[in-house]
Amino acid sequence: MEQSTALGHMGLMFGLLGVILILTGVLQALSSQNEYQGPLAWALITWAIGLGFVMWERFESGRER
């Protein structure tokens, strides 16, 4: 149970970081200098990693029951 809880917390942290990076990327994309297009891609990748950790936690907690 402790491992699945740790995985869930790691997933939530990556997800929160992804949301912050998404908002940063959107802010930069909407600025007058439309030069930044990479931050949004990195944010989505980070968010996907977080989602992976959350799903892993879900499967681990289901297996422990």
Please report, in tens digits, the pLDDT of each residue of the chain (65 residues total): 577 777 778 888 888 887 887 787 777 777 766 555 566 677 777 778 888 888 887 787 777 66
Note down the domain range covering 18.
2-64
- 42 CA to centre of own chain: 10
Helices (H), the chain: 2-29, 38-64
Spatial CA neighbour of 4 closest among 65, 64, 62, 61: 61
Q: What is the tally of structural domains in the chain?
A: 1
CA distances from 20 to 3, 58, 59, 62 (A): 26, 24, 26, 30
Q: Do 14 and 47 touch, CB atoms closer than 8 A?
A: yes
